[in-house]
A = this chain, B = another copy of it.
């Protein structure tokens, strides 16, 4: 069987990884596809640049050379960014070429447009690598869990922040220190906002929620809080209470609709997500039939991401061999209401600095009670000059009620400071 020719857009970290994977495992890949898979052309900025991999592919600087090549049936986009990646993908699909991509930004923002183009051209559009790096999650959600009504997706989907929180937890380093270290190691960018601000995670949970719930969720539907306010005190109190602080990307579905959010959360040490450390990612999925399930692995990096892109390439190549395509395209069949974060409910951890005098606890409990916030536990912690640090865990309560209670508290003279307010999300299962 003659080779299936593909092109790569980009030869950075992931592109190089794909060249390595398709070369190293060429024999088994050819057997799985039923034909060899050959990279014919790679779009690069600078063909003369020294690279740590050799390839027989022609390095080209003009996308037209790929678009107009009828031998190239599949384009793998691994250049990143929105421009010109999205336009290139759209042009390739419109030209009847199959497209696979690792680009979460484009999938989260322009997924619908790309799916429509794919459908019109009877082409495949796959994006396993856009969430969770090498972890199989898109295809499992679209196929293996297809018989379920998915009610909950909770992910640790940003390696940078998970590395930082793990360091803070295990080595008692504070936020600024660990950010500097992560930047020095290349785990965090010089402008770390996309990671620490929760925006990267928000794009990924928008993609997962869209697939899991069968309804389009965009990044604008996601409530976002980052980890910049997490202090070593919060992490220590969490430990004492049997929790670990993680940046969670959460999507839930109930009879009222969908809610999707990214925020730090207290995770029970007995929950499987609690053991996900360093740069590892994991996605916990709950369905009405399957129950609780979790997918764990490396969420980024040259070879893990290449593993996912190459899997998509193999699937498309097999489709080409069998002369079939577009079997699974957009799965956003339904429209579902997205309800605001104010209506979401969970227990909360609250850390307050209050005056150290009799009657204070009663006054605080009263202020919470007035907003129907019941306290599960109250712990008086260390004294700070004339103040005492209070750590409270509430019962399950709405975000709205917590905000009202906190604004009342802030108006009370006995409350000198709100240290932090963090949701308790992943409690123990089984």
Chain A positions within 8 Å of B, measured between CB atoms, are 17, 20-22, 24-25, 28-29, 31-32, 128, 134-136, 139-140, 143-149, 214, 272, 274-280, 287-298, 301, 303-304, 306-308, 310-311, 313-315, 318-319, 322-324, 327-328, 331, 333-334, 430
Contacts and interface: CB of A to CB of B under 8 A. Distances in A.
Contact of A331 (B32, B128, B306, B430): B32
Given A139-B140, A303-B289, A32 B295 contact: no
Contact of A311 (B31, B144, B288): B144
* Dominant secondary structure at the A interface: mixed
A280 B214 contact: no
A136 B333 CA distance: 23
A291 B296 contact: no
Contacts of A318: 327-328
Contacts of A296: 272, 293-296
A136 B136 contact: yes
A149 to B, nearest CB: 6
Contacts of A21: 147-148, 289
A314 B328 CA distance: 11
B304 A28 contact: no
Given A31-B214, A143-B314, A280-B430, 20 more contacts: A25-B149, A28-B149, A28-B334, A134-B290, A134-B291, A136-B143, A136-B295, A140-B140, A144-B308, A145-B307, A147-B311, A279-B430, A289-B304, A289-B307, A290-B304, A290-B307, A294-B294, A294-B296, A295-B296, A319-B327
A131 to B, nearest CB: 12
B148 A144 contact: no
Nearest to A28: B214
A135 B140 CA distance: 9
Contacts of A313: 147
Given A146-B29, A303-B289, A314-B146, A278 B430 contact: yes
Nearest to A37: B147
Contacts of A295: 136, 293-296
A97 B202 CA distance: 44
Nearest to A287: B307
Given A322-B327, A324-B324, A430-B278, A293 B147 contact: no
A22 B280 CA distance: 35
A136 B139 CA distance: 10
Contact of A134 (B22, B293, B311): B293
Contact of A291 (B29, B143, B304, B327): B304
A136 B145 contact: yes
Contact of A289 (B128, B288, B310, B328): B310
A230 to B, nearest CB: 21
Contacts of A301: 291
A129 to B, nearest CB: 10
A272 to B, nearest CB: 6
Contacts of A328: 32, 318
Contacts of A294: 294-297
Contacts of A323: 324
